[in-house]
């Protein structure tokens, strides 16, 4: 069983600089062809400071702190037994190339189903930009398979 005492644990905030090249790479990877996501001039014509990050790019900011989310080390999880259960985002503003985003992350719940064969870890993240504006929140549920033990 994963250590339930870690419910409430807050990870150290991480800082991620949003690079234009990285956003273009992300757009390419998801097959996004709208030039607003790749061309600065097109984005600026539509009122953005620079090319915007697509909605699910927030996950990429989570990965900036370490090789993998620190959750795995904290709970001693085996990466190959983790499945992504669900992901929810709330958006309050945009992220554009050139922004610096502070990511905070907290474990808000852990529970199990099927007599412990499956454990669930729920994390909430927040994303705040360089001028202190909260631009998004995320809630992520990871599923941990214990059944092979």
Partner 1 sequence: MNEVQVGTDIPVLELPPISRYTLALYAGASGDLNPIHIDSDHARNAGMPDVFAHGMLSMAYLSRMLTNWQPQSRLRRLGARFVAITHLHDVVTCSGCVVELVVENGETLARCDIRVTNANGEMTLVGEAMVAI
- If one asks whether residue 87 binds partner 1 (CB under 8 A), the answer comes out as yes
* Sole binder of partner 1 in the list 79, 115, 132, 149 (CB under 8 A): 79
- Residue number, 5 or 41, with CB nearest to partner 1: 41
Encode burial over 78-95: b for 16+ CB neighbours within 10 A, e otherwise: eeeebeeeeeeeeeeebb
Q: Per CB under 8 A, does 19 bind partner 1?
A: no
Q: Which stretch binds partner 1 (CB under 8 A): 88-96, 100-108, 109-117, 127-135?
A: 88-96
Among 25, 45, 133, 134, binds partner 1 (CB under 8 A): 25
**Angstrom distances, CA of residue 87 to CA of 36, 56, 124, 129:** 25, 10, 10, 21
- Select the residue interacting with partner 1 from 3, 8, 68, 117 (CB under 8 A): 68
Give the total of residues touching partner 1 (CB under 8 A): 36
Number of H helices, E strands in the chain: 4, 5
Query: Residue 26 or residue 144: which is nearer to partner 1 going by CB?
Result: 26
Site residues for partner 1 per CB under 8 A: 22, 25-26, 28-32, 34, 46, 52, 54-56, 59-60, 62-64, 67-68, 79-81, 83-91, 94, 139, 148
């Amino acid at each position: 069983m994963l250590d339930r005492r870690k419910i409430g644990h807050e990870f150290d905030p991480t800082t991620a600089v949003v690079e234009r090249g990285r956003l273009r790479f992300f757009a390419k990877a998801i097959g996004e062809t709208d030039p607003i996501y790749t061309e600065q001039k097109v984005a600026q014509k539509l009122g953005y400071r620079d090319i915007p990050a697509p909605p699910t790019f927030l996950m990429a900011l989570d990965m900036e702190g370490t090789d993998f989310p620190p959750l795995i080390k904290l709970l001693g999880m085996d990466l190959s037994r983790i499945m992504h259960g669900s992901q929810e985002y709330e958006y309050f503003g945009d992220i554009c190339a050139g922004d610096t985003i502070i990511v905070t992350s907290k474990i808000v719940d852990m529970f199990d189903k099927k007599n412990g064969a499956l454990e669930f870890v729920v994390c909430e993240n927040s994303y705040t930009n360089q001028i202190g504006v909260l631009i998004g929140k995320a809630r992520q549920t990871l599923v941990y398979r214990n059944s092979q033990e």
